[in-house]
Structure 1
Amino acid sequence: MIGLAFLAPDLLRDVMEGRQPVGFTSEWCVRHSLPSDWSDLRKLLATL
């Protein structure tokens, strides 16, 4: 879960406002590693 501390600011804002992709859940985060590069992270979340 430590990876969530390094989310891109715009993605963090989306989560706080409830606008994250439907598949981006805490369970999903436990099962997957998040890329440290924000561009790669945005691309990954766009597939959910």
Structure 2
Amino acid sequence: MTSVCADMAAGIARKLQQDSEWHMELLDEAKEPVFRIRIVAETLE
């Protein structure tokens, strides 16, 4: 999952608006998240 996300990260990051978030989750058989990757665009003051 990390390598798939790494391939997608540049395109995703370029499209994020200020103060927004993108995430991808890996779910187990019960559809519960076991791993999450988040990309957050924040305005820092």
TM range (shorter): under 0.3
Give the TM-score taking structure 1 as reference length.
Answer: 0.27
Normalization by structure 2: what TM-score?
Answer: 0.27
Q: Indicate the structure whose relative CO is greater, using CA pairs within 8 Å and at least 6 residues apart.
A: 1
**Larger Rg belongs to:** 2
- Normalized per residue, the structure richer in helix is 1
